[in-house]
Amino acid sequence: MRERVERVARSYGSVALLGAVGVPIGVAVGAVDAVFGRTLLAIGDLRATHPALIVCLPAAGALIAWAYLRLGKNTGRGMGLVFDVGHGHEDAIPLRLVPLIMGGTWLTHLCGGSAGREGVAVQIGATLSHWVGQHLPLKNPGNTFLVVGMAAGFAGLFGTPLAATLFALEVLVAGRLEYRALLPSLVAALAASTTSGALGLAKFEVALSAPLTLDAGTLACLLVLGVAFGVVGGGFAWLLGGAKRILGARLENPIVRIVSVGAAVAVCLLALGQGRYAGLGTNLIAASFAEEGSGVLAWDWLLKLALTIATLAAGFQGGEVTPLFAIGATLGATLARPLGMDAGLVAALGYAAVFGSATNTLLAPILIGGEVFGFAYLPAFFLVCSVAYLFNQDKSIYALQERMGSHVSVRK
């Protein structure tokens, strides 16, 4: 009996220790996220007032590629390295990744590259947390600390700790949750979100006002939207992977590749609305939720998709998620008109569902919808994100994401 009590006490003690460790990790990652995020927003504002900076995109790309070749060693793989560590194929993430990814992303956005920011936050969180885990006297932690850091990085940047926790738990292997990392990930996500918010990094959220009645007509429209968002998200992932392979084969020198493609992207950005499709795409997101989406052009989602793929395939730094939010929101605002639905509601559904289908995740986008737009609309987010997940053809922007057999069989 005594041995059983001691065994239970040790088990609960380990759980409590992991939960407690999540606090300092979350605070540290949230603080770094706040510095990175606020600087990035300031850089975006500077570029918006000086669109001529876009002409410097090829030069910025050359500097980024040179820095990674000269200083980066294995860090140039970015999220690929994070996934390899998560799957046990690599042992460590060099700390040099943090300044390289931050500086490269700031340069990308200063000169108008159509890229995101979540890749930076997730990589920073994973790097710092994994380093901490390697220095703690814990037996067989596995990829727990990597998952904890990913959750903290995502939550600190977007202010959505619940979605961040589920994203980190489900993204490494589609169709499987890393439950052993649940408590420390949730604690770290909450700590990171609170810390970044206290340090002035504002959370994006929209209060929807459209009534939601799940009658037959609305359900039919939601099913159609789920299919559309799933196809677009899966298509984005497929096209991005293909573009990286083709450019890598035809332009093997990374400096030549990023300069030549960067020049073409810069020309397109200036020709298409003087930078309308540059940077994160927050301007497009704002337009999607203003005045029934009247400021959204029918082709906004497609041009943002194409320019984001070109930017990231060339080798510029940042991420995909915020542009995916913009693509989904503008696509939703566009589809709302022929369906006769509220533009804000459909934009919100697209915001969450395109992100979910492109990352091959289900639970995270549903909670993104709740945390950003209100949990009163959770049934709609659940339905649309579920359908999008089923129609993304098992594609993911993360090439090293593993799949469970059951996940694939659902699609057959």
Q: What is the pLDDT of residues 152-194, one digit of tens each?
A: 999 999 999 999 999 999 999 888 888 889 999 999 999 999 9
Q: How confident is the model at residue 230 (pLDDT cuts 50, 70, 90)?
A: very high
Residue 356 lies in a domain: yes
69 and 186, same structural domain?
A: yes
Q: What is the pLDDT of residues 370-400, one digit of tens each?
A: 999 999 999 999 999 999 999 998 999 998 8
395 and 332, same structural domain?
A: yes
Asked whether residue 407 carries a pLDDT value surpassing 60, the answer given is no
Q: What is the pLDDT of residue 276?
A: 96
384 and 315, same structural domain?
A: yes
* Pick from 38, 41, 47, 40: nearest CA to 112: 47
Q: Which of 153, 169, 198 is the last residue of a domain?
A: 198
242 and 148, same structural domain?
A: no
Q: What is the pLDDT of residue 217?
A: 94
181 and 251, same structural domain?
A: no
Q: Which of 166, 198, 230 is the last residue of a domain?
A: 198
236 and 105, same structural domain?
A: no
Q: How confident is the model at residue 12 (pLDDT cuts 50, 70, 90)?
A: low
Per-range mean pLDDT, top range of 72-81, 88-97, 195-204: 195-204
In this predicted structure, which of 9-18, 190-199, 314-323, 362-371 has the lowest mean pLDDT? 9-18
271 and 165, same structural domain?
A: no
Q: What is the pLDDT of residue 5?
A: 56
Asked whether residue 68 carries a pLDDT value surpassing 50, the answer given is yes
Total domain count for the chain? 2
Asked whether residue 337 carries a pLDDT value surpassing 80, the answer given is yes
Q: Which of 149, 172, 198 is the last residue of a domain?
A: 198
Domain containing 370: what range?
Answer: 216-411
146 and 236, same structural domain?
A: no
Residue 206 lies in a domain: no
Residue 319 lies in a domain: yes
Residue 360 lies in a domain: yes
172 and 224, same structural domain?
A: no
108 and 240, same structural domain?
A: no
174 and 81, same structural domain?
A: yes
CATH number at residue 232: 1.10.3080.10
Residue 330 lies in a domain: yes
